[in-house]
Amino acid sequence: MLASSVRLCAFLIAVLCAFPLLGGEPFGNSQGSLVDGELPDFARRAFQVTQLVLDKHAEPPTRQEMLLCGLIAVHADHSPEGLSRAVSEVKTEDEFVQCLLRFWPTDSNGAGNTALRHDFLRGLGLAAPGGLEFQSAKDIAVQRQLDANRYVGIGITLQSANNAKIYQIGMTFPRGPAAKAGIKAGEYLIEVDGVKAEELSLEQVVDRLRGPEGTTVPLGVARKADGKPRAVTLTRSVVPRQMVVGCRQLEPEKWDPVVGAEVPVGYLRIGEIGGSTVAELREYEAELHARQVDSLILDLRGAHGRQLRHALALADALLDGGGAVGVRLRGGFKSAPLDRDCLFRDWPMAVLVTADTNGFAEWLAGLLQQRRGAIVVGQQTTGAWRFVLSSVELPDNWGVMTLATGVLEHENPPRNAAGRSLSTTVENAAAARRRIIGSHLSRLHPAVRKAADAPYVVTPDVHVESSHNESFSLLSPRQPDLTQSPFVASAIKALAKALGKASSGKQADSGKDQ
């Protein structure tokens, strides 16, 4: 199942599009020891996983809920008779193990058994709001580099046909060592670190390509899969990528950040809320300032991020103080003060969201609307995903589990003009969450609703209903020309209106002052 889900294209920078956990493949590729061994051993490990969830999760489900979701998952479309009742009576570790063994499909064997164990863990994870992700410590370290935009490698993506052990370079990152050495997308990797690539699995190739900054790796690269390789030795280095882009791509990694014909307006699209997001925004601010632009459309529609501190840094950079923002943890509310640095200070701002904007992006859009008076353009969000993830080590070197240890909150929940809380119904949010999850499992158990009880949705000031297909992946080879986007057009209009008001207001003010 894992192999088929990888199918055609496996990124060397494996999780560049860091999915929200429930939207993506919940496993890393190195959780082998967690699912290995005899079934009773696996059952005991699963019990310990549930214990960690109970100990660390911000809104932990019951152990029975986790076991039930896991067993429903391994049975796919039909639940065995008596499952719910039997699970509800589980209390001790031994009872947990016995229950798992009793309801484990009897005809499973070998590889199928491993796949079932993956399904079990995936189902178990769905019971926990925010899901669970299992990775090796090594993968977590890489993930951290990616989140921080400090990935160290040679700067390529690799693709291989189904287990064919032919590795083609999907793309090269302009500022990476491979691109600098003249390696082009479409070429084939024939040798890696002195070993023929055809003798290696994709994971082994990736392992050999990765290494500490400043170390070297010899490669054999050819134009054709059966061509004679040319030798290239690359020095691994940080491979920066863009987390923020403009509206129109001028050349690789060069974007035009200005839209608007009559009045120029800045347009910046945040792809990732990561380590470099604030620094990139700061550079764009200088460029926009030099081009005498002083209003901004901030596109958060496809923005996603994994690390709380990156989201807090971005909120801090875009808001001029105004008190703390925070996170609800098990031990209570933890707030982070916002300081008085402020990008695009005093600029009118429009923020783009869709119904799928979630997590840090949704939280940020709400903050910008509430505290900065930003005009939110787009669709009402669902509040269905607002978790703060942390990684905890699993016992006995089984790897690392990432889970929701906190929930994003505002100290003062945003309220609409009528003074009502902007909470949506549990049912609506659950429906939205199912869309995000994209899994048949989510409808099987009411535990998933727990995550959906989200009081923080963002209601747009200007609603845009559009079927316009706008890709948000910064890895997409063809980037859309967003100057044609109805979202952008609505935002320009809204900003023009606001600017008109502001300038007439300013005139009135200055008249008063003088």
Partner 1 sequence: MTAARRCNRCIVRLSLAALSLGALLRSAQPQEADVSRTPRLRRPVAMVRQGDEERLFVANQQSGSISVIDPGLNKIVAEYAVGRKLSDLVALRDEQHLAAADEAAGQLILLQRRGATLKELERLDVPAAPVGLELSDDGGQLAAACLWGRCVALVDLVVGKQRAGGKNWRVAKIVELPFAPRKMCFIAESTKLVVADAFGGRLALVDAEQGKLLSVRDLPGHNLRGMTTAGGGRWLLIAHQTASPLARADREDIHWGALLRNNLRWLSSEYVAGEHADLLAASRLEFLGGPDNGAADPGEVLALSDGRVAVAVSGVDALLLSRDDAAGYQRIDVGRRPAALAASSDGQRIYVCNMLSDSLSVVDVSQRRAIAELSLGPQSDLTLAERGELLFYDGRLSLEGWMSCHSCHPDGHTNNQLIDNLSDGSYGDPKRSLTLLGAGDTRPWAWNGGMPDIERQLRLSITSTMQGRDPTDEQIAALAAFVRSLEPPPKIQPPDRNAVEAGQKLFDELGCRNCHPPPSYTAPGVFDVGLSDEHGRHEFNPPSLRGVSQRDRYFHDNRAATLDSVFSKHKHQLKRELSEEQLAALVTFLRSL
CA–CA distance, 299 with 472 (Å, rounded to integer) = 10
Q: Tell how many helices (H) and how many strands (E) occur in the chain.
A: 16, 23
Select from 145, 237, 354, 442 the one that contacts partner 1 (CB under 8 A): 145
How far apart are the C-alpha atoms of 243 and 310, rounded to whole Å?
A: 12
Least distance (Å) between residue 392 CB and partner 1: 9
Whether the Cβ atoms of residue 266 and residue 284 lie closer than 8 Å to each other? yes
Give yes or no for residue 443 binding partner 1 (CB under 8 A). Answer: no
Residues 6+ apart with CB under 8 A from 49: 34, 121, 124, 132, 394, 401
Nearer to partner 1, 275 or 302 (CB): 275
Q: Tell the smallest beta-carbon distance from residue 322 to partner 1 (Å).
A: 9
Contact with partner 1 (CB under 8 A): which of 44, 144, 410, 449?
144
**321 counts as binding partner 1 under rule CB under 8 A:** yes
The nearer residue to partner 1, 23 or 359, going by C-beta atoms, is 359
Residue 419 tokens, joined: 């003074």
| Closest CB to partner 1 among residues 308, 452 | 308
Phi, psi (rounded to 5 degrees) for 327: -140, 140
Q: Name which of 142 and 492 has its Cβ closer to partner 1.
A: 142
Nearer to partner 1, 39 or 324 (CB): 324
In the complex, least distance from residue 477 CB atom to partner 1, rounded to whole angstroms: 28
For the residues of 402-450, what is the DSSP string, one character each? Answer: EEEEEEEE-SS--B-TTS-B-PPPHHHHHHHHHHHHT-GGGGT-GGGHH
**Part of the chain binding partner 1 (CB under 8 A), chosen from 21-29, 178-186, 285-293, 470-478:** 285-293
Which member of 237, 276, 379, 490 binds partner 1 (CB under 8 A)? 276
Query: Smaller CB distance to partner 1: residue 21 or 313?
Result: 313
Structure tokens, 120: 């079990």
Binders of partner 1 among 30-89, rule CB under 8 A? none
Number of amino acids touching partner 1 (CB under 8 A): 25
Q: Which residue lies nearer to partner 1 by CB, 309 or 501? A: 309
What residues numbered 249-268 form the site for partner 1, per CB under 8 A?
none
CB closer to partner 1 out of 405 and 485? 405
The residue from 2, 9, 279, 508 that contacts partner 1 (CB under 8 A) is: 279
State both tokens at 52.
Answer: 């960690």
**148 touches partner 1 (CB under 8 A):** yes
Q: Pick the piece of the chain touching partner 1 (CB under 8 A) from 78-86, 271-279, 395-403, 428-436.
A: 271-279
Choose one: 183-191, 305-313, 444-452, 496-504; the region binding partner 1 (CB under 8 A): 305-313
- CA distance linking residue 56 with residue 45, whole number of Å: 16
Per-position x/- string for 322-361, each x denoting binding to partner 1 as judged by CB under 8 A, each - no binding:
--------------xx-xxxx-------------------
Residue 112 tokens, joined: 């199928």
Q: Nearer to partner 1 by C-beta: 161 or 279?
A: 279
Which of 196, 224, 254, 309 contacts partner 1 by CB under 8 A?
309
- State how far Cα 360 lies from the chain centre: 9
d(CA 23, CA 340): 35
Q: How far is CA 302 from CA 224, 271, 472, in A?
A: 36, 6, 5
Report the residue number, 370 or 424, with the smaller CB distance to partner 1: 370
Residues 202, 50: Cα–Cα separation, whole Å: 31
* Residue 376-415 contact track with partner 1, rule CB under 8 A, x = bound: --------------x-------------------------
**According to CB under 8 A, which one of 99, 197, 312, 429 is a site residue for partner 1?**
312
Residue 298 region by backbone torsions, left for phi larger than 0, else alpha for psi between -120 and 50, else beta: beta
| H or E segment and range at residue 140 | helix 137-147
Q: Does 175 bind partner 1 (CB under 8 A)?
A: no
Complex with partner 1: residue 289 or 468, whichever CB lies closer: 289
**Using CA of residue 150, residue 153, residue 154, residue 157, what is the dihedral sign?**
negative
Question: Residue 359, class by beta-carbon neighbours within 10 Å (0-12 exposed, 13-18 middle, 19+ buried)?
Answer: buried
Report in angstroms the alpha-carbon separations of 273 from 142, 278, 386. 17, 8, 14
Question: Which residues, listed in sequence order, are joined to residue 376 by a DSSP beta bridge?
Answer: 351
The backbone torsions φ and ψ at residue 68, rounded to the nearest 5 degrees and listed phi first, read -65, -45
* Residue whose tokens read 């800045």: 266
State the Cα–Cα distance between residues 491 and 367, nearest whole angstrom.
18
Note the helical H segments in 291-381.
308-318, 359-371
Nearer of residues 138 and 230 to partner 1, judged by Cβ: 138
**Residues 103 to 142: which contact partner 1 by CB under 8 A?**
none
Q: Does 466 bind partner 1 (CB under 8 A)?
A: no
Q: How far is the CB of 210 from partner 1 (least distance, A)?
A: 15
- Which is closer to partner 1, CB of 342 or CB of 496? 342
Minimum gap (Å) between residue 389 Cβ and partner 1: 13
Query: Which residue from 365, 386, 500 is spatially nearest to 454, judged by alpha carbons?
Result: 386
Residues making contact with partner 1 (CB under 8 A): 144-145, 147-148, 150, 275-276, 278-279, 286, 289-290, 308-310, 312-313, 321, 336-337, 339-342, 390
